[in-house]
């Protein structure tokens, strides 16, 4: 689908765009090399002017880390949509370099900044339509949540043991449901993310001297996951996390088993919770178990 032709940049915004260009040139000049800036075409500079005239965020991040924007240009990532899994692969590659929780938070925030700049650029230059922009933002959230979860799960298993189902004897993974705009793949640039955490079955951790109940394991993991995504640091934040759509809201347990969720919704679920669950989507964690959970909840949602 072709998008409408861009109008000329209003004259009132030209001074802002010109200041942004000069500041960016100065920032690149302070580097040891121009890193491809001398190869920018007039069209690229016109795109830069349009984007900076409309987005203070892009200006701030480009001046803070000019290499980030130069690399996006050099790799052609501003001029094409990502293939399925490509964005997740970039986030995964960055997260694998983290050795501590502080480093995890840092790389997630830097990846978020990089992807936000790319998405905003493509939106403002009409290289991506609204549907693609919302999908890219939702994909970024999915990747950030899932990669942070995988990183934390491995380290929690080392520290606390592997959560194991009492009935099945199988290792348990968390299922993370995205609700609202995230669940519907309609995330926008200012959206928070509504999540619900669950795990398949009760039991306890194995492989350590002092085991934990599965629920306690996943509560600790969930708290760490929120901490990796939500707080504002010098690198910004990844996403604001809202957990209030879970059973009993802020007063409820952070994580519940599948059976506990099913019982709550069947016995106490309210109409608005039924409507909210229509948009529920497994965004991270165990996708197979997540599909089973949604099947369990289907009678409540559509009765």
User: Three-state SS string across 218-235, please?
Assistant: HHHHHHHHHHHHCCCECC
The residue-averaged pLDDT of 225-234 equals 96
> For 230-249, what is the mean pLDDT?
95
- Chain-centroid distance, C-alpha 271: 28
Q: What percent of the chain has pLDDT over 90?
A: 93
Whole-structure pTM value: 0.94
Both structure tokens of 58: 């892009």
- What SS3 class is residue 88? helix
91 — pLDDT class (breaks 50, 70, 90): very high
Mean pLDDT value of segment 3-14? 79
Mean pLDDT confidence for 256-269: 95
Distance CA 115, CA 87 (A): 8
The confidence score (pLDDT) of residue 1 equals: 53
Residue 276 CB partners (closer than 8 Å, separation 6+): 179, 180, 245
Domains of the chain and any CATH numbers: 76-302 (3.30.460.10)
Rounded Cα gap, residues 210 and 217, in angstroms: 12
CB atoms within 10 A of CB 166: 11
**What is d(CA 179, CA 184) in angstroms, rounded to the nearest whole number?**
7
Residue 52 has pLDDT above 80, yes or no: yes
Residues 126-170 have pLDDT tens digits of: 999 999 999 999 999 999 999 999 999 999 999 999 999 999 999
| Whether the Cβ atoms of residue 279 and residue 180 lie closer than 8 Å to each other | yes
What value does the mean pLDDT of the chain take? 94
Give every CB contact of residue 32 below 8 A, 6+ residues apart in sequence.
Answer: none
* Percent of residues, the chain, with pLDDT higher than 70: 98
The residue written with tokens 């090399």 in the block is 33
**How high is the pLDDT of residue 9?**
84
Radius of gyration of the chain (CA): 22
pLDDT in the model for residue 32: 83
Alpha helices (H) in the chain, listed in sequence order: 14-29, 42-54, 56-64, 66-74, 86-95, 101-124, 130-160, 180-183, 214-229, 258-268, 271-277, 287-302
Collapse the DSSP code of 98 into the 3-class scheme (helix H, G, I; strand E, B; otherwise coil) and give the result. Answer: coil
């Amino acid at each position: 689908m072709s998008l409408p032709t861009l109008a000329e940049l209003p004259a009132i915004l030209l001074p802002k765009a010109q200041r942004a260009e000069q500041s960016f040139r100065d920032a690149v000049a302070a580097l040891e090399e121009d890193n491809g800036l001398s190869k920018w075409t007039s069209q690229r500079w016109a795109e830069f002017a349009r984007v900076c005239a409309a987005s203070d965020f892009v200006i701030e991040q480009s001046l803070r880390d000019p290499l980030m924007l130069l690399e996006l240009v050099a790799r052609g990532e501003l001029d094409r949509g990502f293939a399925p899994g490509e964005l997740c692969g970039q986030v995964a590659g960055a997260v694998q370099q983290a050795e501590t929780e502080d480093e995890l938070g840092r790389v997630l925030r830097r990846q978020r900044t990089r992807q936000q700049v790319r998405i905003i650029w493509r939106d403002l230059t009409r290289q991506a339509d609204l549907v693609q922009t919302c999908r890219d933002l939702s994909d970024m959230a999915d990747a950030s949540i899932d990669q942070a979860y995988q990183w934390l799960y491995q380290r929690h298993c080392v520290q606390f043991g592997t959560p194991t189902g009492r009935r099945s004897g199988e290792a348990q993974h968390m299922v993370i449901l995205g609700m609202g705009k995230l669940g519907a793949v309609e995330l926008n640039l200012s959206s928070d993310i509504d999540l619900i955490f669950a795990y398949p079955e009760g039991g306890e951790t194995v492989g350590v001297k002092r085991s934990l109940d599965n629920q306690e394991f996943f509560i600790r993991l969930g708290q760490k996951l929120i901490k990796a995504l939500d707080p504002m640091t010098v690198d910004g934040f990844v996403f604001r996390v809202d957990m209030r759509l879970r059973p009993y809201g802020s007063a409820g347990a952070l994580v519940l088993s599948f059976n506990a969720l099913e019982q709550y919704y069947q016995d106490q679920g309210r109409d608005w919770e039924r409507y909210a669950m229509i948009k529920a989507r497994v965004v991270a964690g165990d996708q197979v178990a997540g599909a089973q959970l949604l099947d369990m909840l289907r009678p409540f949602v559509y009765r």
